Amino acid sequence: MEFKGRDIISIEDFSQQEINHILDVSKTMEPLAKTGSDMLKGKILATLFFEPSTRTRLSFETAMLKLGGNYIGFAEPDITSARKGENLADTVRTVENYADTIVLRHSLEGSAKLAADVAKVPVINGGTGAQEHPTQAFTDLYTMRKEKGKIDGLKVALVGDLRYGRTVHSLAYALALYNVELFLVSPESLRMRKDVLQTIKSKIPVTENANLEATIPKIDVLYVTRIQKERFPDAAEYAKVKGAYKIDLKTLKGAKKDMIILHPLPRVDEIAAEVDATPQAKYFQQVWNGIVVRMTLLSLVLGAVK
């Protein structure tokens, strides 16, 4: 298992053994996330965010600061030379002179791979269009294991926008490496994209349906996603599915007492605020776990941890 210098582009590039190692190292990072460390002193992270973000960018930057490193970057491409027509490859070839690793978020599928192909430093995919968001999946798995004590044996429902939601694509690929039963709950028009479905169905039991109420009593993990309004090519199509699922206290009536609710966030209206105070709601703990996991990923790809 070699992580030093490695790009993190797709969950499909990782074995179960490698994912377990990332989760194990993350557990050892928990105390360092509280006390801080100088493990990455002198190292610089570049965050190149061509799309909006709160959690991914800020948690990577926080992770780097907690490890004693520093960061540069942008959250608004309009203030960069991309505005003058510079292409992504040239931007990456430039930034690799300034930084030891790069986190990229971009609307184009394949953009992280392209960046990794031209960069000499490790590139980490911070979200590529509707395609993948691997560091969120590591965070989700870490949260499941921390809260449920295991991943094998879990029954997990992915709910909402399974077509345009990139987090569910990465998470589904990862869960398919474990002994997990997966329920895919979405409106017909937002079903899991075919390439992902084909891969996961060949590995684990998968049920697709639109009935959340019938699914809730069966599951251990309810993973809710936002309908990705910004990715719909047609506003009328979005209007048809807007508000398709709303998790409130009534929805949760039939749930197992120890079921947990996750959400990569941001949420809009798919989880009512009244759910936040329930012991099942773990989505803000998931945010904390995102720092811990990203500390792990940075320390692994920069060779501070084996």
Exactly one of 240, 266, 268, 279 binds ligand CP (CB under 6 A); that residue is 266
CA distance 123 to 118: 10
Binding of ligand CP by 107 (CB under 6 A): no
Tell me how far CA of residue 46 lies from CA of 21, 64, 233, 254, in angstroms: 25, 10, 31, 46
Q: Is 264 in the site for ligand CP (CB under 6 A)?
A: yes
Q: Using the rule CB under 6 A, which residue among 15, 16, 28, 54 binds ligand CP?
A: 54
Q: Which is nearer to ligand CP, 43 or 55 (CB)?
A: 55
Which tokens is 186 given?
């979405």
Quick one: which H or E segment has residue 244? none
Output 105 or 146, the one with its CB closest to ligand CP. 105
Q: How far is the CB of 93 from ligand CP (least distance, A)?
A: 25
Give CA–CA dist 263/257, Å, rounded: 18
List CB contacts of 187: < 8 A, sequence separation 6 or more: 210, 240, 241, 244
**Is residue 193 annotated as a catalytic residue, yes or no?**
no
CA torsion angle 130 132 133 136 (round to 10): 110
Binding mask of the shown chain, residues 136 to 175, with x at each position contacting ligand CP by CB under 6 A: x---------------------------------------
- 118: its two tokens: 């031209």
Q: Which of 105, 146, 226, 294 is catalytic?
A: 105
Work out whether 53 is an interface residue with ligand CP (CB under 6 A): yes
- Interface residue list for ligand CP (CB under 6 A): 53-56, 127, 133, 136, 264-266
So which residues are the catalytic ones?
A: 55-56, 84, 105, 133
